[in-house]
C-alpha cells in the first residue's frame, strides 16, 4: 500500500503542477486584452496630442520664418494672436492667413509681449485668461510701451461682464469680443475695420 500512495502522490503532484500551469496561462490570457487596451489608450493619447503638437509647431514655424525675414503673405499686415487655447489659436491663425494676413501666435502673455516687441504687429488679438501674465496686464504693459502704445488691441475672451469690458476699455483696448458670440469670419471683419 505505501507504493500506491507514493504513486498517487506523484500523480497528484503532477496534476497540481499542470493545474497551476493552466491557471497561469488563463491569467496571462486574461491580462493580454488589458495590456492591449492600455496600449490602445496610450496610442489614443498620443494621437490626441499630435494635432495639438502640430498646431504649436506650426505656430512656432510661422513665428520663426517671419523672424528670418520671410514674408509668408507678401504685403499682408501682421496680426499677433495671444491665446492660450492652442486649438483656437491655430484656427484664428489659419483664418487670418487665408485672408492674406501674416499671423503670429503666443500661448501666454509673457511670450506675447516678447513677440509684439520683436515683430511690431499691426493689430493684436488678446485673450484675458492666460498663464503667467493675464491679458489685462499685457494690455497695460503694451500701453506703457512707446513702440506698442498705438497698436490696436482687440480683446477676445469669454469674460463678458460689464466690469471686464470697462476694465479693458480703460486700459486702452480698441474693441472687446466675447469669443462664444462670434465666428472666426466675424473676427476677421472686426480686424478689417481697424486696419
Domain segments of the chain as ranges: 1-70, 71-194
CA dist list (Å): 15 to 10, 19, 21, 27, 74: 9, 6, 10, 18, 82
Helices 109-119 and 135-143 sit at what angle, rounded to 10 degrees? 30
Residues 116-152 have pLDDT tens digits of 999 999 999 999 999 888 999 999 999 999 999 999 9
Who's near 149: CB < 8 A, 6+ residues apart?
142, 143
- Of residues 48 and 36, more confidence is placed in 36
Q: Is the dihedral of CA 102, 100, 125, 62 positive or negative?
A: negative
Q: What is the pLDDT of residues 14-26, one digit of tens each?
A: 555 565 565 555 5
**Three-state DSSP class for residue 165:** helix
| Superfamily grouping for domain 71-194 | Response regulator (3.40.50.2300)
pLDDT in tens, 181-193: 999 999 999 999 9
The DSSP line for 93-158 is HHHHHHTT-EEEEESSHHHHHHHHHHH--SEEEE-SS-SSS-HHHHHHHHHTSTTTTTS-EEEEES
Predicted pLDDT at 141: 95
Which bin fits 120, alpha (ψ -120 to 50), beta or left (φ > 0)? left
pLDDT tens track for 64-103: 344 333 344 445 799 999 999 999 999 999 999 999 999 9
Please state, in angstroms and rounded to a whole number, the distance separating the CA atoms of residues 76 and 193: 15
Amino acid at each position: 500500500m505505501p507504493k500506491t500512495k507514493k504513486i498517487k502522490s506523484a500523480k497528484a503532484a503532477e496534476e497540481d503542477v499542470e493545474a497551476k500551469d493552466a491557471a497561469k496561462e488563463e491569467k496571462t490570457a486574461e491580462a493580454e486584452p488589458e495590456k492591449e487596451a492600455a496600449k490602445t489608450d496610450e496610442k489614443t493619447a498620443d494621437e490626441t496630442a499630435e494635432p495639438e503638437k502640430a498646431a504649436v509647431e506650426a505656430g512656432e514655424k510661422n513665428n520663426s520664418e517671419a523672424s528670418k525675414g520671410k514674408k509668408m503673405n507678401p504685403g499682408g499686415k501682421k496680426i499677433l494672436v495671444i491665446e492660450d487655447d492652442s486649438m483656437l489659436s491655430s484656427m484664428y491663425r489659419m483664418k487670418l492667413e487665408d485672408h492674406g494676413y501674416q499671423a503670429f501666435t503666443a500661448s501666454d502673455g509673457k511670450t506675447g509681449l516678447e513677440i509684439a516687441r520683436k515683430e511690431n504687429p499691426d493689430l493684436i488679438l488678446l485673450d484675458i485668461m492666460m498663464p503667467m501674465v493675464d491679458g489685462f496686464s499685457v494690455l497695460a504693459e503694451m500701453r506703457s510701451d512707446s513702440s506698442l502704445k498705438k497698436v490696436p488691441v482687440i480683446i477676445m475672451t469669454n469674460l463678458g461682464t460689464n466690469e471686464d469690458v470697462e476694465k479693458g476699455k480703460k486700459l486702452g483696448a480698441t474693441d472687446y469680443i466675447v469669443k462664444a458670440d462670434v465666428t472666426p469670419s466675424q473676427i476677421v471683419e472686426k480686424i478689417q475695420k481697424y486696419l
